[in-house]
Amino acid sequence: MGVMSILLAVLLLLCPLPAPACPHTCHCWAGDVDCRQRALHEVPRLLPTNASTLWLGYNLIAVLGARAFPSLPVLLRLSLTHNRLEKIHRQALLGLGALQDLDLSDNYLTVLSPETFLPLTSLSILNLGYNRLEELEAGVPPALPQLQAIFLNGNPWMCSCSILPLWHWLGHNREKVPGETSLQCMFPESLNTYPIMAFGNDSFQQCQKVPLSAQNYAAFLLIGPFSFLASIFCCTLIGSIVVVYQHLRKESQTWRRPLSSGTATAPSGALSPIQPGPECL
C-alpha cells in the first residue's frame, strides 16, 4: 500500500489535473476565454484556471457578489464593459491577484469602495469611463500601488465639496489620467461642462469648515426647547421670590411703624369726661 501511495503521488505531480473545461456559453483558446454577448446575468462559475484574458463584455451582469470569480491565478486582463453593473461587492475580486488590466467602462456604477481593489496588487490599468460616478472616494487610487493609468471620462461629476479628494489626487497624478483636461462638471448647472482641473485652492476654502453632523442638529433641536422652558421656569421662580420678598418687607414695615399723635390713647387710669345726658339739656 505504501508503494502504491508513492506511485500515485508521483503521477499526480507529473500529470496535474486538467483545468476545468471551457463553459459551454463561452469560447476558449490559448488562455483567452471569450464570453461576450452571451446574455449572461452572472460570471460563469467554472472557468479554466489557466485563463489569462477573460472577456465578459456586452452581457447583462448587474451585480458582482462576494467572490464572484473562481481563483484565476494567472488572469492578467478582465473586461466587463457594456454590462449593467450597479454594485461591486467589497470581496468580489478576491482570487485575481495577478490582474493587470480591468475594464469596467460603460456601466451603471455610482459608488466604488476602496476595499474592492485591495486584492489587485498588480493592477496597472483601470477603466471607469462612462459610468454614473459623481465622486470618487479618496482611498480608491491609493488602494492600487501599481496603478499607471485610470480612465475617468464620461462620468457626471458633482463639483461640490465631495469632489475635493479627486481634485487633490488629480493635481498630483495628472500623468496617470489620460484626458484629464476633459473631466468636466455635470452638476450643479452653473458649472456644467466646467473642467474639474480649472478649480483653484480658493474654490475649496468653504470645504475646510467642519460640517455639522446629524447628531449636532439633533442636539440643537433638543437643547432649544429645553433651554426655552428652563428660562421660563427661572424667570417665574425669580419673579415669585421677588414678590414674596416685597410682601414680607411690607408687612415688617407695617408692624414697626409708630402711631400718629392724633390717635394717641389716654393714659391708663384717667377718667373719661362725662358727657351730659339728654335730660340735662
- The x, y and z cell numbers of residue 39, run together, are 446574455
- Quote the CA–CA distance of 186 and 190 in Å, as a whole number: 9
| Residue that wins the pLDDT comparison between 250 and 131 | 131
- Quote the CA–CA distance of 156 and 183 in Å, as a whole number: 9
Query: Which residue shows C-alpha cell 462620468?
Result: 155
Please, how many CA atoms are within 13 Å of residue 127, restricted to the half-sphere of its CB? 15
Q: Are 36 and 61 in contact (CB under 8 A)?
A: no
Coil, strand or helix: which one is 29? strand
The domains of the chain, with CATH numbers, are: 20-156 (3.80.10.10)
Q: N- to C-terminal Cα distance for the chain?
A: 164
Q: For strand 125-127 and strand 32-34, is the pairing parallel, antiparallel, or unpaired? A: unpaired
| Residue that wins the pLDDT comparison between 56 and 19 | 56
Q: With pLDDT > 70 as the criterion, what percentage of the chain qualifies?
A: 75
The confidence band for 281, taking pLDDT boundaries of 50, 70 and 90, is very low
State the pTM of this model: 0.68
- Quote the CA–CA distance of 178 and 16 in Å, as a whole number: 43
Q: Are 90 and 111 in contact (CB under 8 A)?
A: no
Q: Are 203 and 185 in contact (CB under 8 A)?
A: no
- The x, y and z cell numbers of residue 214, run together, are 446629524
What is the pLDDT, as a whole number, of residue 3? 54
Coil, strand or helix: which one is 269? coil
What is the pLDDT, as a whole number, of residue 227? 67
What is the pLDDT, as a whole number, of residue 209? 60
List, as one string, the DSSP characters of 141-209: GGG-TT--EEE-TT--EE-SGGGHHHHHHHHH-GGGSTTGGG-BEEESGGGTT-BGGG--GGGGGGGGS
What is the pLDDT, as a whole number, of residue 223? 67
- Residue 87 sits at φ, ψ, to 5 deg, of -145, 135
Identity at 63, one-letter amino acid code: V
What is the pLDDT, as a whole number, of residue 150? 96
Omega before residue 142 within 30° of 0, cis = no
Per-range mean pLDDT, top range of 114-128, 175-189, 266-280 = 114-128
Taking only the tens place, the pLDDT of each residue in 193-234 is 889 988 888 877 778 665 555 665 565 556 656 666 777 777
- Quote the CA–CA distance of 130 and 83 in Å, as a whole number: 12
Q: Are 178 and 151 in contact (CB under 8 A)?
A: yes
